[in-house]
Amino acid sequence: MTGLGFLAVLFILFVGFFLLAIVVLFVIDITQTKDAVRRNYPVLGRFRYLFSTLGEFFRQYFFAMDREEMPFNRAEREWVDRAARGEDNTVAFGSSKNLTPTGSVIFVNCPFPTLDEDSAAVQSLVIGPHCRLPYDAPSFFNISGMSYGALSTPAVMALSNGARMAKCWMNTGEGGLSPYHLEGGADIVFQIGTAKYGVRDLEGNLCDDKLREVAAHKQVRMFELKMSQGAKPGKGGILPGVKVTSQIAKIRGIPEGKDSISPNRHPEINSTTEMLDMIHHIREVTGKPVGFKAVVGAYGWLEEMCEEVRKSGLDRAPDFITIDGGDGGTGAAPMPLMDNVGLPLRESLPLVADILHKYGLRDRIRLIASGKLVTPSEVGWAIASGADFVVSARGFMFSLGCIQAMKCNKNTCPTGITTHNKRLQRGLDPADKALKVASFCQNMIHEVEVISHSCGVARPRLMGRKHVRIVQSDGKSIPMDELYPQPELLVEDQQHSNSA
């Protein structure tokens, strides 16, 4: 048989197999009863699902404008990417950002901005002055909670090393403390979720001995009691069984290979009093600062908490509160909660800051802002609104190389960040990504400083609401301190302030 004849035979076989496959799919589609489209349009109906699946990838490359994509648009992702690479982050010709929509933030520039030589270095800030081991936190921008298990081994290693380089802290998320959190040498915030992973006994209750074991690590600087998170208020953490490896099961204290679903709240906390009791207990056992994380919906309970602290003493106060916006993210959450429950950070952060101020607790309780803050303008707004610190999870995921594939819960993350598939993890080099994590953090701090200097102050924490204007529905902007005026101190606090 000549070469040409052999190719002809191969072609005929290929066409035959192709036609046979079409016939088989046709029979399957026309006889099945679960999918009307495939039953009515055999074979062709399958392309609808193929295009729907590929659509989210094609949109971000070919169709979406720079500022229109959700949850993070191309302009935001590209700023993080350039910051992580340490590349020039200037833009040309003009801004592509529309400043007229209601709620847009405009910083008020000073006619005499701060000279570079007159600027002040970022100052550290003490958290937990009433603790045996307070934490002098060096950076106002830090890594938010992302669990080992939700994240891969190389991703956690890169974040840990990058955090050490940038001198920021790294929150463990609710999945417990892994060796990879510690190996980078970064400061660690240990998060205690509703399932108490890493500090639980066999029945799932908080275990003091395990708390002491965790606190014995010098790198563990604080403990965060997670009451709720923005992407799923009222719902516990969800880790699919496919991601519960033997190591993760050992760290968390759960069965291997089974879905890990946390309770939707701490069963033993039914009131603000019981929450303060637990915070005080953890602080007494560990000697380190303890606060809580919550997304705000109802907020009367915050006033109740402040009233109780005023009555019982400042040593009963949480050392910090992390406010998570209702627009926060996570690896897996029910859509109704992610889309519709919890106040956005734009509303909840000023509200909580004002409540703390009203009760004279603003200096005692540090305020941490969390939720979709990945660019300097957003971080600058949060600090001007009342935050002492800002934490970001998805921003640091972008610095690791996240492409917003929206597959975090599928164990098929194409960049190796949220998968335990070894083949996919090979694409993530921890040493290279650690440099990008550090660069993103450092460039974020630098550009927030640029904003503060433009406003005429020497460092970011000197910005206040008077430095921000918010666009209203009529297209005009008003000062943020008019939109959110600072409340009057309670009478007792005024008397205390005057006597001091």
pLDDT for residue 495: 42
pLDDT for residue 376: 93
Q: How far is 293 from 300, CA to CA, in rounded Å? A: 16
Q: What is the DSSP string of 390-421?
A: EEESHHHHHHHT----S-TTTT--TTSSS---
What stretches of 32-152 show up as alpha helix (H) in DSSP?
36-40, 45-58, 74-85
CB 22 within 8 A of CB 44: no
Q: How far is 96 from 66, CA to CA, in rounded Å? A: 7
Q: How far is 431 from 162, CA to CA, in rounded Å? A: 9
pLDDT for residue 270: 93
What is the rounded end-to-end Cα distance, in angstroms, of the chain?
A: 104
Look up residue 129 and give its two tokens: 């002055």
Q: How far is 71 from 329, CA to CA, in rounded Å? A: 9
Reduced to 3 states (helix: H, G, I; strand: E, B; else coil), residue 490 is coil
Look up residue 492 and give its two tokens: 């007792």
- Range 85-91, long-range pairs (CB < 8 A, 24+ positions): 85/436, 85/439, 86/439, 86/443, 89/443, 89/447
Q: How far is 202 from 270, CA to CA, in rounded Å? A: 22
CA dihedral 186, 189, 195, 200 (to 10 degrees): 80
CB 224 within 8 A of CB 214: no
Look up residue 282 and give its two tokens: 């953890």
Count Cα neighbours of 176 within 13 Å in the Cβ-side half-sphere: 24
Reduced to 3 states (helix: H, G, I; strand: E, B; else coil), residue 241 is helix
| CB count in 10 Å sphere of residue 252 | 26
> Mean pLDDT of successive 10-residue segments in the chain (500 residues)?
70 83 88 76 77 62 56 73 81 71 91 84 92 96 91 93 97 93 96 92 90 97 89 65 81 82 86 96 97 92 95 94 77 57 87 95 96 91 96 91 77 84 85 94 95 94 95 92 86 43
Q: What angle do CA 327, 450, 434 make, to 5 degrees?
A: 65
Spans of all domains in the chain: 9-63, 125-443
Q: How far is 143 from 395, CA to CA, in rounded Å? A: 9
pLDDT for residue 249: 84
Q: Which CATH superfamily is domain 125-443 in?
A: Aldolase class I (3.20.20.70)
Residue that has been written with the tokens 């040309």 in this structure: 92
Q: How far is 251 from 248, CA to CA, in rounded Å? A: 5
pTM of full prediction above 0.85: no
